[in-house]
Structure 1
Amino acid sequence: MLYSLLIFNNAGKPRYTLFSKAFKDKKWDEKNVFQAVYNAVSQRSETCCNFINGNIILNDDHATIVYRSFATLYIVVIVDGNENHLAILDFIQILVETLDKHFGNVSELDVIFNFEKVSSVINEMICGGIICETDSDNVIQALE
């Protein structure tokens, strides 16, 4: 289950946030979690792996933070222990490829000024905290 999907820039400005019902059930504070995740991710070396144990930041042994950096943006997904971390990393890649197809080489400005379109793409791919579509062509077709 996905607890959250966060997109923020290198300076820590949130560009897109999605918090699932499961996140809210945990009673985590969105602002504090965002800040803690940004601090942890932005300070990591490029040679580090793309997974952070949730116990370090969220005080939850079953949560994992999976992230990837693209140009000036970080895309972060917080998941429970039942998710395959490599599959989530692949999902992040597919999300970026889908946004690239939709916008023609997506940038931070696309995310800022086309928030509704970005939200539509993500909502086609994630349903109720579950990844429901991973074929970028199907997502693009559904949006047209």
Structure 2
Amino acid sequence: MIHFVLLISRQGKVRLTKWYSPYSQKERAKVLRELSGMILTRGPKLCNFVEWRGYKVVYKRYASLYFCMCINQDDNELEILEIIHHYVEILDRYFGSVCELDLIFNFHKAYYILEEILLAGELQESSKKTVARLIGAQDSLVEDAKEQASSIKNMIAQATK
């Protein structure tokens, strides 16, 4: 089981967090400090697995972001690396060569994509085509809602003239 997902920039700024296990706000802040300090100081040639508090943290660096997932000791690290890569590939496909700014300004899309892939800390959807289809459907719903809100706004403006 995945306990949490973190996206951390090289400067140590947290770009995305998703918690699947209960942690208080104070514990979350402590976890973020500990792990960002531990992962950011590791050399690039070291392995992508870190033992931490009885768990394993699997991470992978893509450009200026570290994608980290915390798992149980007996879970398969290579499977988690594949899940991280799967998530990055879907982000790349959606944003067209995803970068840190895409995640900053469209964090809600990054969360939505993550929630389509993972459910309660387990892999839900492994098909990139299915995830892309679901994201496209969500985008069209949002556009329809925006158009509807705009037309209602215009009707109200005309009625109040």
TM-score relative to the length of structure 1: 0.89
Contact 1:4 1:78 in 2 (8 A): yes
Quick one: which of 72, 78, 91 aligns to 2:83? Answer: 91
Question: Shift in Å at residue 142 of structure 1?
Answer: 1.1
More helix by share: 2
Equivalent residue for 2:60? 68
Which runs of structure 2 are paired with 1:12-27 in the superposition (5 Å)? 12-20=12-20, 22-24=21-23
Count of aligned pairs between the two proteins: 136
Question: Shift in Å at residue 24 of structure 1?
Answer: 2.8
Of the structure 1 ranges 86-95 and 134-143, higher mean CA displacement relative to structure 2 is found in: 134-143
Contact 1:51 1:64 in 2 (8 A): yes
Check 1:28–1:84 CA distance in 2 against 1; reply closer, same or farther (3 A cut). farther
Question: Shift in Å at residue 135 of structure 1?
Answer: 1.9
Equivalent residue for 1:130? 122
Quick one: which of 26, 49, 52 aligns to 1:51? Answer: 49
Question: Shift in Å at residue 28 of structure 1?
Answer: 7.7
After TM superposition, the runs of 4+ consecutive aligned structure 1 residues lying more than 3 A away are: none
- 1:29 maps onto 2:21 in alignment: no
Q: Given residue 69 of structure 1, which amino acid in structure 2 is its aligned partner?
A: R
Check 1:101–1:109 CA distance in 2 against 1; reply closer, same or farther (3 A cut). same
Contact 1:4 1:23 in 2 (8 A): no
Q: Percent identity?
A: 29
Distance in 2, matches of 1:75 and 1:51, equals 12
Q: Given residue 2 of structure 1, which amino acid in structure 2 is its aligned partner?
A: I
Question: Which consecutive unaligned segments of at least 5 residues does structure 2 have?
Answer: 137-161
Distance in 1, matches of 2:74 and 2:42, equals 25
Equivalent residue for 2:156? none
The alignment yields a C-alpha RMSD, in angstroms, of 1.6
Question: Shift in Å at residue 83 of structure 1?
Answer: 2.0
Equivalent residue for 1:108? 100
Distance in 1, matches of 2:22 and 2:37, equals 19
Equivalent residue for 1:4? 4
Question: Shift in Å at residue 138 of structure 1?
Answer: 1.3
Structure of higher CA gyration radius:
2
Distance in 1, matches of 2:71 and 2:22, equals 9
Aligned to 2:23, the other structure's residue is in SS state helix
Deviations 1:44-88 (A, max 9, x none): 11110000012xxxx32xx10000001111100011124210000
